[in-house]
Amino acid sequence: MTRKFLALLLSASILSPLPSIAVAPPDFKQEAIANVDGHTKLIQVMVDTVFSYGEPGFQEFKTGAYLTDILAKNGFKITKGVAGIPTAWTATWGEGGPLIALGSDEDDLRGVSQIPGDPKVEPIVPGAPGHGEGHNSGMPLQVAAALAIKAVMEKHHIKGRLMLWPGIAEELLGTKAFYVRDGLFKGVDACIFTHVASDFSTAYGPSSNGMVSIEYTFHGKTAHAAGDPWDGHSALDAVEIMDVAMNFRREHLPLSTRTHYVISNGGGQPNIVPGVASVWYYFRDYTFDRVKSLFEIGNKTADAAAMATDTTVEHKLLGFAAPNYGNKPMAELAFANIQQVGMPKWTADDQAFAKLVQETQQRKVEPLLDKVTPLKAPTEERTPTGGGSDDIGDIMWTVPTITIRYPSNIPNMIGHNVTSAMAMATPIAHKGAVAGAKAVAMTVLDLMMTPEELTKAKAYFDTDQQKYDTYKPLVSATDVPAIHVNDDYMRTYRPLMEPYYYDSKKYDSYLDQLGIKYPNPPTGPIRKIVPPKSSSTDSSGG
Ligand SMILES: [Zn+2]
């Protein structure tokens, strides 16, 4: 450690808004901020490009190839196909020192294709997937943060390593438990995850729901449905009996549970007694034990439905998400940085577009936020009533981890819906990702350069967090990631989406390519609609 560095550290601790926190030298953090600002154009291009690829869970081939190419060109070592998942990858760089992991989700949602910059519901390709949660912005943010950090580390000979990883198939809660099971986070000291939001914040302690995703496939016997139905055993009857039983059971389940399903195979045609039928359930609650007991009720009900119909049933686990638990010392570090970065400078055009979307979609009208969200202590007594999940929980129970929420979207949009896609390739999304990248870069430097902060994060993980609960995943040693999901769907839609991929060499922005004069809505037809060969507009999601 140089004397200059010690002096900087000392001045940092004097200037710090939270005196108990040791942080990286302010000069180094200013350099990181300047580096991110230097990547503003790259961030816009990455956010727009990933938006235009619009790939759902396990189909993130273009997105992965594109982002890893940028990282490889910048000296990162790429490993593809990690944890047996073709679209998963890691990008590592550095030597010695702590290993900090940076991740975000990159998949989108079935059936929510949407033209960005358009306040009306208007798909780019009807029925195609779309970024109706804004996952197109998270990995571009992390790539920009990593490039900014790397430059500071190289310049000042700081020891440390970075590992970037994408959240694959998050909407299916499909991969992070497998990453953990297969040892992807072995040797990682801490992880910073980011998620799109309309606010700029972080949190610690327990939050969100745990979840298990399971498909029950019933096997019966076909017969002529009118000629000799008594010779058949309907697998669809079993599905329906299971669903009715679960819906009656719901009355007697804790209010915190969430149980939802889709019939993923309802049989072939009415005159054949269905020989095979499947129903796909998500079971959620806010602790590991509660998820497990709901899962057991589901399994028992499926077995009972099979018994009632003289069919057999196969249980296939498709995904799992641990309840989230954020690391307090890391959240405090990140929050100080979030405060320093502050909200993006929204223009009148940004506010006008946000208002236009809210009014057109009849959502509560509220301007883009101008203040960061305070860091709040979690409530002691939790009685949550539902809510979504993110399998970052599995990583949170493996290494000290936080989520930084960054302001790339408009307030009061509907989740898993086209409204959440409307701003996601506009200046609002771009500026939010720039702000988020700065907070990540600064927090990584804090962790890399102040070993005592990393020690504090680990101590909190080992004591406070483990006292609250311990990691109990429902993924077994023999379960495999559900990489087949969305395969057929993308075989239909990818060729229809290709003509709308963003060409950053020809167009300044994706809005330019689509002929949209932000913040004004498009006035004429901006694309030729090619009807898909087979149409499927259902959506699935995290
Ligand atoms: Zn998400």
* 105 Cα to the center of ligand 1, angstroms: 6
Q: What is the mean pLDDT of residues 437-463?
A: 97
Residues around ion ligand 1, judged by CB within 5 A, are: 133
Ramachandran quadrant class, 406 (left: phi over 0; alpha: psi -120 to 50; beta: rest): beta
Cα 192 to ligand 1 centroid, rounded to whole Å: 15
Tell me how many degrees the CA angle 395-399-404 measures, rounded to the nearest 5: 65
Q: What is the pLDDT of residues 327-339, one digit of tens each?
A: 999 999 999 999 9
> What is the reported pLDDT for 21?
80
Task: Label residue 249 exposed, middle or buried (CB < 10 Å: 0-12, 13-18, 19+).
Answer: middle
Which tokens in the block code for residue 433?
């990702």
- Using one digit for the tens of pLDDT, what is the confidence trace for 276-316? 999 999 999 999 999 999 999 999 999 999 999 999 999 99
Tens-digit pLDDT profile for residues 481-531: 999 999 999 999 999 999 999 999 999 999 999 989 999 887 776 655 444
Q: How far is the CA of 9 from the centre of ligand 1 (A)?
A: 36
Q: How far is the CA of 418 from the centre of ligand 1 (A)?
A: 14
Can you give the pLDDT at residue 527? 57
Centre of ligand 1 to C-alpha 195, Å, is: 6
Encode pLDDT of 359-412 as tens digits. Answer: 999 999 999 999 999 998 887 666 676 788 999 999 999 999 999 999 999 999
Predicted confidence (pLDDT) at residue 539 exceeds the cutoff of 90: no
pLDDT at residue 14, rounded to an integer: 43
Q: Is the pLDDT of residue 204 over 50?
A: yes
Mean pLDDT of the chain: 93
**Phi and psi at residue 79, to the nearest 5°:** -120, 120
Q: What is the spatial distance between Cα 113 and Cα 122, in angstroms, rounded to a whole number?
A: 8
- What confidence category does residue 108 fall into, taking pLDDT thresholds of 50, 70 and 90? very high
Rounded distance from Cα 133 to ligand 1 centre (Å): 6
Cα 50 to Cα 24: distance, rounded to the nearest angstrom? 32
Measured in angstroms, how far is the CA atom of residue 15 from the centroid of ligand 1? 35
Percent of the chain past pLDDT 90, that is, above it, reads 88
SS3 for 262? strand
How does 60-94 read in b/e, with b if 16+ C-beta sit within 10 Å? bebbbebbbebbeeeebeeeeebbebbbbbbbbbb
Ligand 1: centre distance to CA 35 (Å): 27
For 150-159, the pLDDT digits (tens) are: 999 999 999 9
- What contacts 93, CB < 8 A, 6 or more positions away? 75, 76, 77, 146, 150, 161, 162
Confidence of residue 137 (pLDDT cuts 50, 70, 90): very high
Between the CA of 89 and the centroid of ligand 1 the distance, in Å, is 19
User: Which pLDDT band, with edges at 50, 70 and 90, does 541 fall under?
Assistant: very low
DSSP 8-state secondary structure symbol assigned to residue 259 = E
- Per-residue pLDDT at 380: 66
Please report the pLDDT score of residue 379 as a whole number.
76
Tell me how far the alpha carbon of residue 415 lies from the centroid of ligand 1, in angstroms: 9
Do residues 409 and 197 touch, judged by C-beta distance below 8 A?
yes
Which residues, including other chains, have CB under 8 Å from residue 131's CB and lie 6 or more apart?
50, 51, 54, 108, 109, 112, 114, 420, 421, 424, 425
